[in-house]
Amino acid sequence: MACVLEAPLRMSVLSEVTASSRHYVDRLFDLDPQKVLQGVMLLYLLQQESSSTELRTECAVVLGSLAMGTENNVKSLLDCHIIPALLQGLLSPDLKFIEACLRCLRTIFISPVTPEDLLYTDTTVISHLMALLSRSRYTQEYICQIFSHCCKLQQWHSCGFKSLPQPLLCANGPDHQTILFNHGAVQNIAHLLVSTSYKVRMQALKCFSVLAFENPQVSMTLVNVSVDGELLPQIFVKMLQRDKPIEMQLTSAKCLTSMCRAGAIRTDDSCIVLKTLPCLVRMCSKERLLEERVEGAEALAYLIETDVELQRIASITDHLIVMLADYFKYPSSVSAITDIKRLDHDLKHAHELRQAAFKLYASLGANDEDIRKKIIETENMMDRIVNGLSESSIKVRLAAVRCLHSLSRSVQQLRTSFQDHAVWKPLMKVLQNAPNEILVVASSTLCNLLLEFSPSKEPILESGAIELLCSLTQSENLALRVNGIWALMNMAFQAEQKIKSDILRGLSTEQLFQLLSDSDVNVLMKTLGLLRNLLSTRPHIDHIMSTHGKQIMQAVTLILEGEHNIEVKEQTLCILANIADGTTAKELIMTNDDILQKIKYYMSHSNAKLQLAAMFCISNLIWNEEEGSQERQDKLRDMGIVDILHKLSQSSDPNLCDKAKTALQQYLA
């Protein structure tokens, strides 16, 4: 009899299979391991070439139906090695059997318990699937669906799958997108976008949306591919018109978004500004299903994330900022709900809605001060963010922190709304115990709250922030090290001597050296920035150098001798200039001939920035109003410093020329 490939499965098929194999099916999910072993017979029949094609096809159909059940069903099937068995079935010459195997594979791969990497353990499988695309509209639909569900961004780099065989792909091997791309996915799937079957068109579109996501190579290829004389971007634009089904509009908008973010389409292209962006804003309206509103907001957040002009356009399109406030109103009040199913549905999507709204608000407010003001003035916005920081869902917490981080870039809001709502309290709580992905964004936000004009700076200090930030500088996570030292740098700016001493005590000399020898230049620059802020105002400079002078001078020497870029050397010379401004601290330079020779060397360097920084050191050392200036001037003259100053006073660089003349005047006074 004919194999039934469309859901729901016809009872006639089940009844015919039942007669010969129902007892095997029952035993496949029995609690008794022995009976489970007997149940494997269904898979055995599937693989036996001696079995009739009709029986093997019906076995695949029944297995596919079982896979539509619980996740435990799928796990049992995976444990019985169903995927290799079905892949083997694809080598059959019989199209109906191939379609049944593909349909079952599709069902198994869309389950969250199935590791995507199982599709890639043998790359000949991908080649064979590409070849099968031409066989029928069913093979096209199922294969595209399999590809779109099994195309993840290098998932095995960050986490392995529990108790499952590891893929043959190595950690440094190509990712799923690259494998599919290299096997001709773009060329083989492009023509399916104009198929007469809606399901095929839709699955091909979904396939491109995952292939292009964060992938410049795929995106740059897609923009130049044409089907029946029409370029793919034009086809995608047609698919997001209002008369098309919502899922088609959304998915085509996501394709164009990925291509735009990858640089394949300009952000000011009419297909983005006049088509994609308005389409995604439409998806955020109350008329759309909750799932569509979530997907639309997240895609829009990604589209506008890095482009100021798109952020401005989105913010004034269809009252988007106010529209998003509705995302926080689910589930609706219980008194207004009589439908339990509706309540269950709302509850299920409430977290996703809040997460999506926070993400989109974060993108909208990333750059423009007026937009941030509008967001914060939206109904109960700061309260919602504060509540979001303590939600049980990690995804919502992360999105809330991102939103807060975006808004914390506003000087005005740091002084007003952030202080009015004591945002620093829940933020500090988040920093006490959170996964790294949240810690990174939360610590970035804290950096902004510690700027000198922020009223939150003082209470944050009083809440034990120094210890927390010093611990972040020891993290293996680079972003956390950078943020920890950055926050300490902001904290030290124009701070009291006690705070500066607490920072140095919290870091320890050993950790300071560790940071100054960090392989990442951002960590090094922020650490030098911290030292520069610590060594400001004379009493502080003298106090810190009296307790840590030897170690700091050693660190400065190491950096000036090392292979570092101009910015690092300049920052280090500026630290020396600050030390030279101390009353007693400057003697640590004057008694260190090695350091003096280095300053002399940089006065004659080819880079004007380094010359200028070295001259600041000299100016502070020879300033004649200070005690001991005559002796210092004499020693530096003997070293040849005055000769260099005369030479620099003739420099074509006005800054160097002026600074040299000012220094020479100290000798004449």
pLDDT for 220-237, tens place per residue?
Answer: 999 999 999 999 999 999
The pLDDT of 186-191, averaged and rounded, is: 97
Distance from C-alpha of 277 to C-alpha of 298, rounded to nearest angstrom: 12
Question: Residue 30 pLDDT more than 90?
Answer: no
pLDDT value of position 22: 57
Q: What is the pLDDT of residues 480-526, one digit of tens each?
A: 999 999 999 999 999 999 999 999 999 988 898 899 989 899 999 99
Residue carrying structure tokens 């003035």: 377
On whether the CB atoms of residues 220 and 264 are closer than 8 A, the answer is yes
DSSP 446-486: HHHHTSTT-TTHHHHHHTTHHHHHHHHTT-SSHHHHHHHHH
- Element spanning 265, H or E: none
Question: Residue 33 pLDDT more than 60?
Answer: no
Distance from C-alpha of 192 to C-alpha of 202, rounded to nearest angstrom: 9
pLDDT value of position 7: 33
- Beta-carbon count within 10 A of 41 CB: 16
pLDDT value of position 69: 79
Residue carrying structure tokens 């059997």: 97
Assign 3-state DSSP to the chain and report helix, strand, coil percentages, each to 5. 70, 0, 30
Q: What is the pLDDT of residues 595-619, one digit of tens each?
A: 999 999 999 999 999 999 999 999 9
Contacts of 478 (CB under 8 A, 6+ apart): 520, 522, 523
Question: Residue 162 pLDDT more than 50?
Answer: no
Distance from C-alpha of 267 to C-alpha of 259, rounded to nearest angstrom: 10
Q: What percent of the chain has pLDDT over 90?
A: 68
Query: How far apart, in Å, are the Cα atoms of 141 and each of 74, 237, 465?
Result: 21, 22, 55
Distance from C-alpha of 64 to C-alpha of 7, rounded to nearest angstrom: 10
The pLDDT of 364-372, averaged and rounded, is: 95
Which of 123, 119, 115, 117 has the alpha carbon at shortest distance from 102? Answer: 119
Q: What is the pLDDT of residues 266-319, one digit of tens each?
A: 999 999 999 999 999 999 999 999 999 999 999 999 999 999 999 999 999 999
Question: Residue 393 pLDDT more than 70?
Answer: yes
More confident residue, 68 or 357: 357
Q: What type of residue sits at position 218?
A: V
Query: 318: left (phi > 0), else alpha (psi -120 to 50), else beta?
Result: left
Reported pTM: 0.83
Q: What type of residue sits at position 510?
A: E
More confident residue, 225 or 2: 225
On whether the CB atoms of residues 125 and 116 are closer than 8 A, the answer is no
Q: What is the pLDDT of residues 514-571, one digit of tens each?
A: 999 898 999 999 999 999 999 999 999 999 999 899 989 999 998 999 889 999 999 9
Question: Residue 179 pLDDT more than 60?
Answer: yes
Q: What is the pLDDT of residues 192-222, one digit of tens each?
A: 999 999 999 999 999 999 999 999 999 999 9
Query: How far apart, in Å, are the Cα atoms of 331 and each of 15, 339, 349, 361?
Result: 43, 12, 8, 20
Which of 326, 327, 301, 329 has the alpha carbon at shortest distance from 315? Answer: 301
How many CA atoms lie within 13 Å of 296's alpha carbon, on the beta-carbon side? 29
